[in-house]
Amino acid sequence: MTDTIEIRDDERTPLLTNSNITSERRPITPLPKLQIAIVLLLQICEPITSQSIFPYINQLISELDITGGDERKVGYYAGLIESLFFATEALTVLQWSRASDHIGRKPVLLIGLFGITISMLSFGKVLLDTSLFCVLRIFSRCFTGLLNGNIGVMKSVMGELTDSTNRAEGFALMPVVWGLGATIGPLLGGTLARPHENFPKYFSGAFWKQYPYFLPCLVPSCFVLFAFLITLVVFKETNPKTHSDLKSGVEDQDVTKTRPCDHPVPLRELLGVYPIILSVSNYVVLAFLSISFGALFPLFLAMPLEIGGLQLLPRTIGIVIGGYGAGGAIFQALFFAKVVRRFGERRIFIAAIATYLPVFIILPVANLAARNLGQESIVVWALVGLVVTMMALNDIAFGTIFMYITSSAPNKRSLGATNGLSQTSVSIARAVGPALATSLFSFSVQMNLLGGYAVYVFFAALSCFAVVLSTRLPEKVWDDHTTSN
């Protein structure tokens, strides 16, 4: 009797396995340019809207009564505002991503764009009044997070538009566009805030004095509205809903063994997939460090010298942060795919995440240099330039970890849930990061912990842990790696 070998698709098998790989290198599949361009247009909306508030948020809070005139408390409230979006996003992003596996990516993307537009307009159309600040600005940030499932869904779309031959080129574009948005956003926020003072010839009316932060919210909102219309008219669904999916009840966990390999995998089973857990864990630590630095750096640049900052104006802060975004975008565009193919995803990710350790050491050194040599000292600006350069290079870590996460999905119909799971975890980290980082800054200064620099010691230690965790990743992304649970 001849033995038969049953070949089946296991839910814990990565999306791209060794069976997909031939002994010879396959030619690179051309990217679908129009669809990719729309995804990138949606991607740029995120950093433009989220980071445009960074240059002026600390000044805005200082102008309110809630700090009692004590600038050492600004960090507490700045971190709260910056964390609200991610805290509420964590509640819904997984459900939006899972919904996109069933109803399609396009409807979810459109809802997210609508939410961003309304929220930004609401955030800017609020008086400098404590009670309104507490209610309306908090509500506007929460509203964006609740409706926005775009972050996870866009990565799913990119995974569906690419294959193993061109994934490096496709995912290289996402950090590039993010870097471009991270350049434009702070520049818009820093330049357009309080336009009645900066551009009195054009914005001298009573409206702009009453709502001094409406213009830097209006301009990004118009851009998002444009992206909404382009998506509505031009974007083609990459994961169309099928009638059979709705009838079959693909989320029923009792039919796991008979489920076709192209049906979504239940969430409970995704939580047991080792490649997903390891990839997401590294993404969470990376995102936590990144968002913490993103909140801490503008605060460091804005605060007075005597409490650990550099005391720069919002316009200057916008230029510095914009330079970091521009540098990251240029590096990604020119070198990402080349260095990944040359050195491999694992080495690039480890090297990139290792840059956080020296960055968190340099910040207090820059403050000490400014106190002793003067704010305009070339040494101070050389240190700031070094931080900006290292963080621009650091952005390459996101492109590589996105590749790990995408290829860790059991099948293409589980991309949404996989990215939703990763984005939920990351949103929780991003909700904690800004509030923790800026609060630790204020607490370190108020309590004079380690001379006011205890916050940097904490994040330097966390950076060491991140490097250790990153070494657990395989040499190749999961499509080139046989996994077992």
Condensed to tens digits (0 to 9), the pLDDT of residues 117-136 reads 888 887 776 545 544 555 56
pLDDT band at 445 (very low <50, low <70, confident <90, very high): confident
Q: What was the pLDDT predicted at 241?
A: 55
DSSP assignment, residue 265?
Answer: P
Residue 256: pLDDT band (50, 70, 90) is: very low
Quickly list H helices, 259-313: 267-270, 274-302
pLDDT band at 481 (very low <50, low <70, confident <90, very high): very low
* Residue, of 97 and 138, whose pLDDT is higher: 97
C-alpha distances (whole Å) from 232 to each of 41, 107, 125, 163, 340 are 13, 9, 27, 25, 34
pLDDT in tens, 387-415: 988 888 888 888 888 888 877 877 666 77
Q: For residue 281, what pLDDT is reported?
A: 92
Q: Is the pLDDT of residue 214 over 60?
A: yes
Give the Cα separation of 447 and 439 in Å (integer).
Answer: 12
Six-digit token string for 326: 């521009």
Q: Which two tokens stand for residue 482?
A: 């046989």
pTM over 0.85: no
Q: Looking at residue 383, what is its pLDDT?
A: 93
pLDDT at 33 over 80: yes
Q: Which amino acid is at 214?
A: F
Average pLDDT, the chain: 77
Q: Is the pLDDT of residue 426 over 80?
A: yes
pLDDT score of 16: 45
pLDDT given for residue 286 in this prediction: 94
pLDDT confidence of 251, banded at 50, 70, 90? very low
- DSSP designation for 24: S
Cβ atoms of 345 and 221 within 8 Å: the answer is no
Stretch 332-346: mean pLDDT: 81
- At 79 the pLDDT is 67
End-to-end C-alpha distance for the chain, whole angstroms: 33
Give residue-wise pLDDT tens across range 228-249: 999 999 998 887 654 344 444 4
pLDDT score for 353: 93
Average pLDDT over residues 333-345: 81
For the chain, domains (ranges, CATH) are: 32-240+265-480 (1.20.1250.20)
Q: For residue range 354-374, what is the model confidence (pLDDT) as tens digits? A: 999 999 999 999 999 999 888
Alpha carbons 219 and 417: distance in angstroms, whole number: 33
